Amino acid sequence: MGRLALILSLMLCAAPAAAQDFATLKGHGGPIMGIAVSPSGQVATGSFDNSVGLWTGTTPHWLEGHAAAVTALAWGPEGMLVSGGDDFAVRVWGDAPRVLGKHQGKVAALAVSPDGATVASGSWDGSVMLWPLDGADGTALPAPGAGVNALAWDGPETLYAATMAGALLRYDLGTGEAPVALVQHGFGINRLALGPGWIAYGAVDGGTRVLDLQTGAEIADLTLDRRPILALSYNTPTHQLAVGDGEGYIMIVDTENWQITRDFRATRQGPVWALAFSPDGKVIHAGGLDDVAYSWPVEALDVFEPGITGERSFLRAAETMPNGERQFMRKCSICHALTPGPSRKAGPTLHGVFGRRAGTVPGYSYSDTLDGSDITWNAATIDALFDQGPDHYIPGSKMPMQVIAGGSDRADLIDYLKQATKGE
Ligand code: HEC
């Protein structure tokens, strides 16, 4: 039994000492795209459900204001939090929450300058903006040449930017000149992390490399066979670099010798989109397609053994699930809960759906199509719903079009739902 499995079984036996170590931050109604931890250890999460979660232990406090998914987060001095999202807006929270400004595309990167005076934002619209926090207007930096995915400050005058075209750029803000390209990677660069004297980047093709900031020389190539790289986080006190990828793994690297120390599967399904260490480096917070964030004690994670990959954590991979459950997890769970009561998901709970009249979950605001509909949900009607697709079966509904072409996939899904939606 791996140490993680051991931790889980301790948790299930309700051993309080072990249970404190691992936490699940539950409450968001969609995938978690961003996580940032303040110097005092406050965790913030940004989600597909348009909200920012601020966590005290495992209790969330919601910051609402974005009109679309929240994809970027950064902490500034004295508990100042900034967020950016698919609504193109850069927001600052705190005593006087406000919109700092707007891009013309998704805001994918945010970074607060080390002196706390300026927020830098990078967008898929191909611009980098600087927003002074004293209220002055934002200014655009010379164009980076492509959509921006990541930003990192190195002192108050140097800003690094990574682009969808694969460039790693350095802006010297003192000169106001066009940025210098340190790398042309060939594939989009998604993430940056800055350490003492080096910068690490993670790319769409899985490339995970580290450059010396003085010489520009490559000092480490941490690329494994996983792609894309979607998250990076560095912890100064413990010299650890964490790398999250599209296959749901987190790899931890000791940057004193550039050895991979730990490697484990960290999501139930899908990628790791967001990573952030606790200030002491003992916990790594991770988010992805599951609408919970996991807080993993680093010590408990699987030690890296070259050549060994596969299922090593307690979370089951999609491949090991029965087909019906896998269908639900992949195609429905983003929007539907299975438990009674209100959820923060986009769709109504499917708890008790068999035998239920359509459009009748109390408190859920249905489209006119389902409100007052005379459909009763059962194996035949749910089968028809995904055989024909919601756009044909219940035209005008808020459920996105999707068809499940395989009759046996629909049958397995329905069998799974019959079990999983039963009333207590
Ligand atoms: C992207 C979000 C989304 C996904 C994915 C999704 N749904 Fe829905 N679903 C909704 C929404 C929103 C509604 C409410 C529709 C309305 O009011 O018109 C809904 C309604 C329903 C209803 C009717 C519920 C009721 O109370 O009348 C059923 C049944 C249902 N979905 C099943 C599924 C199943 C099974 C899947 C996976 C195969 C799925 N949905 C995938 C968003 C989604």
**Residue after which a domain boundary falls, among 270, 291, 317:** 317
Give the nearest ligand 1 atom to 371 CA: 17
Please give the Cα distance from 162 to 188 (Å, whole number).
8
Summarize pLDDT for 56-90 with one digit per residue, the tens.
988 999 999 999 999 999 998 888 999 999 999 99
Same domain, 311 and 295: yes
- The pLDDT, as a whole number, for residue 304 is 67
User: What strands lie across the sheet with 259-265, from one edge to the other?
Assistant: 229-235, 240-245, 249-254, 259-265
From 269, 336, 385, 404, give the residue whose CB has the most ligand 1 atoms within 8 Å, as the site to mutate.
336
CA distances from 161 to 109, 154, 166, 221 (A): 9, 11, 10, 20
Tell me: do 297 and 186 sit in the same domain: yes
- Separation of CA 351 and ligand 1 centre (Å): 12
CA distance 358 to 366: 10
Which contiguous run of DSSP H or E holds residue 184?
A: strand 180-184
Alpha helices in 55-198 (DSSP H): none
Q: Which residues contact 183 (CB under 8 A, 6 or more apart)?
A: 166, 167, 168, 189, 201, 209, 211
% pLDDT > 70, the chain: 88
Same domain, 228 and 257: yes
Cβ-contact 161, 150 below 8 angstroms: yes
- Rounded to an integer, what distance in angstroms lies between the CA atom of residue 232 and that of residue 241? 7
209 and 304 in a common domain: yes
pLDDT at residue 9 above 50?
Answer: no
CB 184 within 8 A of CB 166: yes
Domain count, the chain: 2
Domain termination site, one of 298, 317, 336 = 317
User: What separation in Å is there between the alpha carbon of 399 and the centre of ligand 1?
Assistant: 5
The closest alpha carbon to 65, from 33, 108, 98, belongs to 98
Q: Answer whether 277's CB lies under 8 Å from 287's CB.
A: no
Q: Is the pLDDT of residue 3 over 60?
A: no
For residue 47, how far is its CA from the centre of ligand 1 (angstroms)?
19
DSSP class of residue 179?
A: P
Reported as a pLDDT band with limits 50, 70 and 90, residue 12 is very low
Mean pLDDT calculated for residue range 264-280: 88
Are 13 and 41 part of one and the same domain?
yes
SS3 of residue 235 by DSSP: strand
Residues 212 and 339 in one domain: no
* CATH (domain of 401): 1.10.760.10
Q: What is the pLDDT of residue 237?
A: 96
Q: How far away, in angstroms, is 30 Cα from ligand 1 center?
A: 14
Ligand 1 probe mutation, 343, 385, 387, 399, most atoms within 8 A of CB = 399
Structural domain including 347 reads 321-420
Buried b (16+ CB within 10 A) or exposed e, 307-338: eeeeebbbbebeeebeebbbbbbeebbbbbbb
What distance lies between CA 26 and its chain's CA centroid? 14
Do 333 and 310 have their domain in common? no
Is 177 found in the same domain as 106? yes
Residue 277 and residue 353 share a domain: no
Choosing from 317, 334, 349, the residue where a domain stops is: 317
Indicate which CATH number applies to the domain containing 296: 2.130.10.10
Q: How many helices (H) and strands (E) does the chain have?
A: 6, 28
Q: What angle do CA 358, 412, 246 make, to 5 degrees?
A: 95
Average pLDDT, the chain: 87
Model pLDDT for residues 221-264, shown as the tens digit of each residue: 998 878 899 999 999 999 999 999 998 889 999 999 999 888 88
Summarised one tens digit per residue, pLDDT across range 331-376 is: 787 678 888 877 766 789 999 999 999 999 998 889 899 998 999 9
3 state DSSP class of 46:
strand
Cβ neighbours around 371 below 10 Å, total: 12
Both 31 and 61 in one domain: the answer is yes
Whether 254 and 367 map to the same domain: the answer is no
The pLDDT of residue 111 is 97
pLDDT digits (tens, 9 = 90+) for 105-136: 999 999 999 999 999 999 999 999 999 998 89
Question: Which atom of ligand 1 is the closest one to the Cα of 394?
Answer: 18
- Nearest-CA residue for ligand 1 atom 27 is 358
Query: Do 343 and 294 share a structural domain?
Result: no
Q: Kindly report whether the peptide bond that precedes residue 196 is cis, defined as omega within 30 degrees of 0.
A: no
